[in-house]
Amino acid sequence: MDESDVRRGVRDALPLLLGIAPFGLVAGIAAVEAGLDLPQAVGMSVVVFAGASQLAALDLLGRDAPLAVIVATAVVINLRMLMYSASIAPYFRAFAARWKALLAYVLTDQAYALSIARFRSDRPIDAKAYYVGAAVTIWAVWQVATVAGVLLGAGVPEAWGLEFTVPLIFLALLVPAMEDRATTVAGVVGGAVAVAGVGLPLNLGLLVGATLGVAAGLATETVAAKDGEGEHAH
């Protein structure tokens, strides 16, 4: 493994940590709000390691939602990882199965974006080394920030109330992601349905909202693609 490319991956990930660290801090605070202690919060962060779906799962845990609903919601939110995996897999085809498993575990939006941009550049690069440098750096900072959030949340008096942290971080994630018609439709539909479904049995509002949001976004993208083909034909 080329150590210089490992360092390059670490260096490229550093600016992103300014956003990842506060996000992890909020995840730790949310874990305390959901009733998890330090070992449980750390265990969940290490095993799940998925920012948005981790927060959604914690929110549902705090509402005593059924385990099946929590898992299904996390899976729906993380469906984009299937597209990331399909896109980046050709660069990892020659690696051993154990390496593929490790690289899949640390896959995030940020690690994917950094790596795919480097892999597609003209400069030769050790794909494994660069990806490990970037992805593991993000993973490590997320874990440390989560622990710090748990410790901070545990020290805040209950009277202060920290319930607002999860909705705020979701808003912070949502607005920048709404960058075209499909993502805007997905965000608006998903958010509206989730809010309208607050009273649904088994706390299904978030799951239904996420599912319908994804479906609406895909439908919008499909219609736009067909319109583009029609204009091309003319």
Q: How far apart are CA 38 and CA 18, in angstroms?
A: 24
Q: What is the pLDDT of residue 172?
A: 52
Number of domains in the chain: 2
Cα separation, 1 vs 61, in Å, equals 41
Distances (CA, A) of 203 to 13, 25, 66, 198: 36, 25, 8, 7
Stretch 185-202: mean pLDDT, rounded?
70
Q: Which residues of 101-118 are buried (b: 16+ CB within 10 A; e: fewer)?
A: ebbeebbbbbbbebbeeb
Q: What span, in angstroms and rounded, lies between the C-alpha atoms of 20 and 138? A: 8
Rounded distance, CA 121 to CA 142, Å? 28
Does 101 share its domain with 121?
Answer: yes
Identify the sign of the CA torsion 219, 224, 227, 228.
negative
Is residue 7 located within the same domain as residue 97? yes
Tokens in use for 115? 């790596």
Are 26 and 86 contained in the same domain? yes
Q: Is the pLDDT of residue 133 over 90?
A: yes
Residues 135, 197 within the same domain: no
Average pLDDT estimate for 95-123: 87
> For the chain, what is the largest distance between any 2 Cα atoms, rounded to a whole number of angstroms?
65
Same domain, 149 and 219: no
Residues sharing a CB contact under 8 Å with residue 189, sequence separation 6 or more, in sequence order:
209, 212, 213, 216, 217
Q: Which residues are CB-neighbours of 56 under 8 A, at least 6 positions away?
A: 73, 74, 77, 206, 210
The pLDDT score that the predictor gives to residue 106 is: 92
More confident residue, 164 or 195: 195
Question: Residue 12's Cα: distance from chain center in Å?
Answer: 19
How far apart CA 188 and CA 183 sit, in angstroms, is: 9
For residues 163-168, give the mean pLDDT.
53
Task: For residues 81 and 184, state if they share a domain.
Answer: no
In whole angstroms, give the CA distance from residue 218 to residue 211: 11
- Do 163 and 185 belong to one domain? no
Q: Residue 86 pLDDT > 60, yes or no?
A: yes
Q: Please check the confidence at residue 234 and state whether its pLDDT lies above 70.
A: no
Q: Count other Cβ atoms within 10 Å, centred on residue 221.
A: 16
Q: Which domain holds residue 98?
A: 3-176
Say how far apart CA 195 and CA 205 lie, in whole Å: 7
In a shared domain, residues 23 and 72: yes
Per-residue model confidence as pLDDT tens digits over 26-78: 888 888 888 888 899 889 889 888 877 888 888 888 888 888 888 888 888 88
Judge contact between 9 and 137, C-beta under 8 A: yes
**14 plus 50 within the same structural domain:** yes
Q: Based on the fold, state whether residues 93 and 139 are members of the same structural domain.
A: yes
- Name the percent of the chain lying above pLDDT 90: 12
What token pair was written down for 191?
């958010």
Do 145 and 182 share a structural domain? no
Shared-domain flag, residues 76 and 98 = yes
| Average model confidence (pLDDT) across the chain | 79
